[in-house]
């Protein structure tokens, strides 16, 4: 028994297979295009002036001033940035002639977001600025005068 398929059946079969392939492939390419055109873009800004570096009190005690250091993270992209984590991976010091030297035995540490106890920021909306703490230095000179 020989199976013969008519021309109209072949066209119907090929068009069905083509539509199934398009239905499976188009959402994948649409997602790739969306990620490329509307991706979040994080920008880091740090300067040795307020609000990045400022003098404040330590533990709400006006008798114990401290200097806080932080950097600004802003989302200048077009979509929400999810699960953002800041990590200090390398530290350099300058030698006597001003050349930076990498500290080789430095262990990376996670940095905390300002005014929050969490390390992982759940989301950063577009056109929003938030701060991440680098650290603080107590005013030792003021404490030594006590």
All structural domains of the chain with their residue ranges: 7-37, 42-144
Instruction: Give tens-digit pLDDT for 62-71.
Output: 677 788 888 9
Please state the pTM of the whole predicted model: 0.63
Name the β-bridge partners of 130: 73
Query: Is residue 80 a contact partner of residue 123, using CB atoms and an 8 Å limit?
Result: yes
- pLDDT attached to residue 74: 92
Helix (H, G, I), strand (E, B) or coil at 24: helix
Instruction: Give tens-digit pLDDT for 78-95.
Output: 888 888 888 889 988 888
| 21 CB neighbour count, 10 Å cutoff | 10
Q: Is the pLDDT of residue 17 over 80?
A: yes
């Amino acid at each position: 028994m020989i199976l013969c398929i008519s021309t109209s059946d072949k066209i119907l079969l090929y068009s069905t297979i083509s539509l199934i392939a398009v239905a499976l492939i188009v959402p994948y390419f649409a997602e790739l295009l969306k990620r490329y055109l509307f991706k979040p873009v994080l920008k880091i800004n740090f300067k040795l002036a307020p609000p990045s570096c400022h003098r404040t009190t330590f533990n709400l005690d006006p008798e114990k001033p401290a200097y806080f250091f932080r950097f600004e993270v802003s989302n200048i992209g077009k979509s929400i940035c999810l699960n953002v984590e800041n990590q200090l991976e390398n530290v350099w010091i300058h030698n006597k002639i001003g050349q930076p030297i990498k500290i080789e035995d430095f262990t990376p540490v996670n940095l905390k977001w300002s005014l929050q106890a969490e390390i992982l920021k759940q989301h950063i909306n577009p056109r929003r600025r938030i701060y991440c703490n680098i650290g603080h230095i107590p005013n030792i000179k003021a404490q030594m005068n006590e």
